[in-house]
Amino acid sequence: MVERHKMYINGEWVDSESGEIFERVNPANSDEIIGQFQKGNENDVKKAVDAAENAFEYWSETPPPKRGEILFKIGEMLKQQKEDLAKLMTWEMGKVLVEARGDVQEAIDMTYYMAAEGRRLFGHTTTSELKEKFAMTVRRPLGICGLITPWNFPIAIPAWKLMPALICGNTVVFKPSSDTPLCAIKLVEILEKAGIPKGVVNLVTGPGGSVGMSIVKNEKIRSVSFTGHRDTGATILKEAGIKKVSLELGGKNPIIIMDDADLELAVDGVIWGGFGTTGQRCTAASRVIIHENVKAKFEKMIVERIKKLRLGNGLDEKTDIGPLVNRAAQEKSRNYVEIGLKEGGKLLVGGHIPEMKGFFFEPTLFTDCFMDMRIAQEEIFGPVVAVISAKDLNEAIKLANSVEYGLSTSIYTNNVRNAFKAIEKLEAGLTYVNASTIGSEVHLPFGGVKHTGNTREGGILGIEEFSEVKTVYVDYSGKLQRAQIDIE
Ligand code: NAD
C-alpha cells in the first residue's frame, strides 16, 4: 500500500486544490514507490501566502528568545529522530546512510545555532557627528519568505533557510524538490510538534514551474531564498520583481594538487570530494588540477582506489556510492561521458551504467582534459571527474578560475607560500587547504561568487539574509540639529 501524503497550510495537513498527485520512486530500486504527494498549484500557494500573512504579526511580535525556545525544541526532536530521518533520506534520495546522518546533523547544528541567536540578533551602536544624538541599528524581519530547495541536502538545506528565517521573525512558504517531498514533510511535522504556530510555516509540494514560480512572482512575498541549478536561479532572478532574491547555485569545483603535496591525503580528498554523494553536491570536486610532475603517480594511486568503491543501496553500510537521484541524472552522466570521449578526454576508469536496478553510475575519471572541454566547464552533478595538468601554481590557479562558477576550491600542498597564494587568488566562496572541497560548518558563511550566486548563508550571514536593518537616530538636544550642516 503506497502512502498518500498531504501539504501543510495554515496549520492543517491538506490536499492540493488540483486534486492531482505525483509519485516518487526509490532511486536504488526504481520499482519501489516511496509515496504519493500533493501536486500543488497556484491557488495552494496563494492560500499558503495568506496564511503566512495572517501569522506574521503574532510571530514577528513574539520575543526572539521565545522563538529560540521553540527552535531549541526542534533541535532536540531532530536529534531524537536522527537515525529514522537519515534512513528515510537514504530511501528517498539515495545518499549513503553515513552521509544522510551528516545531513540531519547539519540541520541539528543549524537549529541550535539559530535558537541561541534569539538572544543576540545584534544591531550596532555607533557615534554621531552631532552632540546629544544617539545612533544605532536594529534588526527587523523581512515579512513572508519563499524558500525553494533542491533534493541533494533534503533536510540540511531547508534547515539552513528555515531556522534563520524563523528566528528573525519571518513567516514562510516552503517548496521542496519533488524528488524529496517526504523529507520536507517529516521536517515540517517536527516543526509543528515543537510548537511553531499555525500559518508561520507553510509547505506546498509540487512542480517548480508552477508552485515555485507562483512563489517567485507573488507580490506579498518579500524575499525568495533559492538553492538549485544555475539556470533556474537565472529565471527566478528575472521573474521575481522587486523583492530580495538570494541564490545559491552550482559549482565546478577544483582540487589543485601540487608536487609537494601529501599524495595519499590528496587521493582521499578527491575520492571524498568527487564521488561522495555520488558527485551530487554543489561543492563536489569535479576537476582535479594536478602538477605535471606527480600526475602519473596520482592517477595510478586513485584508479586503484576507484576500482574498489562499492556501488549499492545506501542503506547497506558496506556501500560507498549510492545511486543518482533519478533517471534524468543517470542519463546526464552518461551523456557527459560521451561528450568527454568525443572531446578527446581519456577515460581512465568507469563511464558506464552498471547492470543494477536503480539509477546507478560507475565512478568515472577522465584524464588529459583541457579547460575548453565541456566536461571541464559544466556542472555534471554525477560521479564524473576530469583531471587537468598544470606546470606550476600560477597555471593551476588560472585553470581553476577559468570557469563560470566559483563555489568551493581546494589546494593540497605542504608549502605555506603556495597555500597562501591560492587563498588569495582563487575566485571562490570557499578555499580549503589540505582538505577536500567539502566540509562546511554551520557557523561559517557558505556561498559562492560568479555564477554560483549572490549570497552567503550560515552563521551570522544567515541572519543578514533573513533580516532587514533599520537605522535609528535619537536626538536628545531639544533643538533642530542638521547633519552635515550644524557641525562645529
Ligand atoms: P533545480 O534548480 O532543478 O531545482 C531546485 C528547486 O527549484 C526545486 O524545488 C525545483 O522544483 C524548483 N524549481 C525548478 N524550476 C523552477 C522555476 N522555474 N521556478 C521556481 N522554482 C523552480 O535544482 P536541483 O536539481 O534540485 O538541485 C541541483 C542543483 O542545485 C545543482 O546545480 C547544485 O549545484 C545546486 N545546489 C547548490 C547549492 C549551493 O548552496 N550553492 C547547494 C545544493 C545544490
| b/e burial code for range 418-442 (CB count within 10 A of at least 16 → b) | bbebbeebbbbbbbbeebbbbebeb
Does residue 165 surpass a pLDDT of 90?
yes
Is the same domain home to 208 and 258? no
Does 70 reside within a domain?
A: yes
In the block, residue with C-alpha cell 533643538: 479
Is the same domain home to 374 and 408? yes
Does 34 reside within a domain?
A: yes
The distance between the two most distant Cα atoms of the chain, rounded to a whole number of Å, is 83
Is the same domain home to 285 and 378? yes
In the chain, the N- to C-terminal Cα span, in Å, equals 80
Compute the distance from residue 147 Cα to the ligand 1 centre, in Å: 11
Assess whether the C-beta atom of 375 lies below 6 angstroms from ligand 1: no
Does residue 1 surpass a pLDDT of 90?
no
How high is the pLDDT of residue 293?
98
Q: Is 9 exposed, middle or buried (0-12, 13-18, 19+ CB in 10 A)?
A: buried
Phi, psi of 210 (to 5 degrees): -105, -60
Assess whether the C-beta atom of 248 lies below 6 angstroms from ligand 1: yes
Assess whether the C-beta atom of 216 lies below 6 angstroms from ligand 1: yes
**What SS3 class is residue 421?**
helix
Compute the distance from residue 175 Cα to the ligand 1 centre, in Å: 11
End residue of a domain, out of 433, 463, 479: 433
Compute the distance from residue 446 Cα to the ligand 1 centre, in Å: 16
Does 169 reside within a domain?
A: yes
**What SS3 class is residue 392?**
coil
Compute the distance from residue 225 Cα to the ligand 1 centre, in Å: 11
Assess whether the C-beta atom of 239 lies below 6 angstroms from ligand 1: no
Is the same domain home to 285 and 147? no
pLDDT 10s digits, 117-128: 999 999 999 999
Does 486 reside within a domain?
A: no
| DSSP single-letter state for residue 208 | I
Residue 259: all three cell numbers together: 608536487
Assess whether the C-beta atom of 175 lies below 6 angstroms from ligand 1: yes
How far apart CA 284 and CA 310 sit, in angstroms, is 19
Compute the distance from residue 80 Cα to the ligand 1 centre, in Å: 29
Instruction: Looking at the CA of residue 232, tell me the nearest atom of ligand 1.
Output: 2
Question: Which residue CA neighbors atom 43 of ligand 1 most closely?
Answer: 282
Does 481 reside within a domain?
A: no
Instruction: Looking at the CA of residue 235, tell me the nearest atom of ligand 1.
Output: 18
How far apart CA 483 and CA 324 sit, in angstroms, is 60
Does residue 264 surpass a pLDDT of 80?
yes
Compute the distance from residue 410 Cα to the ligand 1 centre, in Å: 24
Average pLDDT, rounded, for the chain: 98
- Which of 93, 99, 148 maximizes ligand 1 atoms within 8 Å of its Cβ, making it the mutation to test the pocket? 148
Does residue 176 surpass a pLDDT of 90?
yes
How high is the pLDDT of residue 2?
95
User: For residue 296, what is the domain's CATH number?
Assistant: 3.40.309.10
The count of structural domains within the chain is 2
Is the same domain home to 230 and 281? no
pLDDT 10s digits, 362-388: 999 999 999 999 999 999 999 999 999
CB neighbour list of residue 452: distance below 8 Å, 6 or more residues apart: 230, 248, 249, 250, 251, 282, 405, 406, 407, 428, 429
Kindly list the catalytic residues. Answer: 248, 282
Which residue pairs, CB below 8 angstroms and at least 24 apart, start in 343-352?
A: 343/369, 343/373, 343/374, 343/375, 344/368, 344/373, 345/369, 345/373, 345/375, 345/386, 348/299, 348/303, 348/387, 349/303, 349/306, 349/307, 350/306, 350/383, 350/384
Compute the distance from residue 47 Cα to the ligand 1 centre, in Å: 24
- Which of 152, 160, 211, 283 maximizes ligand 1 atoms within 8 Å of its Cβ, making it the mutation to test the pocket? 152
Question: Which residue CA neighbors atom 22 of ligand 1 most closely?
Answer: 208
Is the same domain home to 154 and 233? yes
Does 22 reside within a domain?
A: yes
Assess whether the C-beta atom of 160 lies below 6 angstroms from ligand 1: no
pLDDT 10s digits, 311-325: 999 999 999 999 999
Question: Which residue CA neighbors atom 12 of ligand 1 most closely?
Answer: 208
- Which of 232, 404, 438 maximizes ligand 1 atoms within 8 Å of its Cβ, making it the mutation to test the pocket? 232
Does residue 488 surpass a pLDDT of 80?
no
- Which of 24, 215, 229 maximizes ligand 1 atoms within 8 Å of its Cβ, making it the mutation to test the pocket? 229
How high is the pLDDT of residue 105?
98
Residue 387: all three cell numbers together: 583531471
pLDDT 10s digits, 338-364: 999 999 999 999 999 999 999 999 999
Is the same domain home to 206 and 298? no
Assess whether the C-beta atom of 229 lies below 6 angstroms from ligand 1: yes
Does 47 reside within a domain?
A: yes
How high is the pLDDT of residue 475?
98
Is the same domain home to 12 and 144? yes
Q: Which whole number is the average pLDDT over 225-251?
A: 98
Assess whether the C-beta atom of 236 lies below 6 angstroms from ligand 1: yes
Question: Which residue CA neighbors atom 20 of ligand 1 most closely?
Answer: 212
Compute the distance from residue 321 Cα to the ligand 1 centre, in Å: 22
Is the same domain home to 186 and 276? no
Compute the distance from residue 206 Cα to the ligand 1 centre, in Å: 13
Is the same domain home to 122 and 269? no
Does 2 reside within a domain?
A: no
Domain containing residue 43: 7-249+453-471
Instruction: Looking at the CA of residue 178, tell me the nearest atom of ligand 1.
Output: 11
Instruction: Looking at the CA of residue 248, tell me the nearest atom of ligand 1.
Output: 41
Cβ pair 258, 288 in contact under 8 A:
no
Q: Which whole number is the average pLDDT over 57-76?
A: 98
Assess whether the C-beta atom of 298 lies below 6 angstroms from ligand 1: no
Is the same domain home to 422 and 464? no
pLDDT band at 487 (very low <50, low <70, confident <90, very high): confident
User: For residue 86, what is the domain's CATH number?
Assistant: 3.40.605.10
pLDDT 10s digits, 197-227: 999 999 999 999 999 999 999 999 999 999 9
Q: Does pTM top 0.75 for this prediction?
A: yes
Assess whether the C-beta atom of 151 lies below 6 angstroms from ligand 1: yes
Is the same domain home to 158 and 239? yes
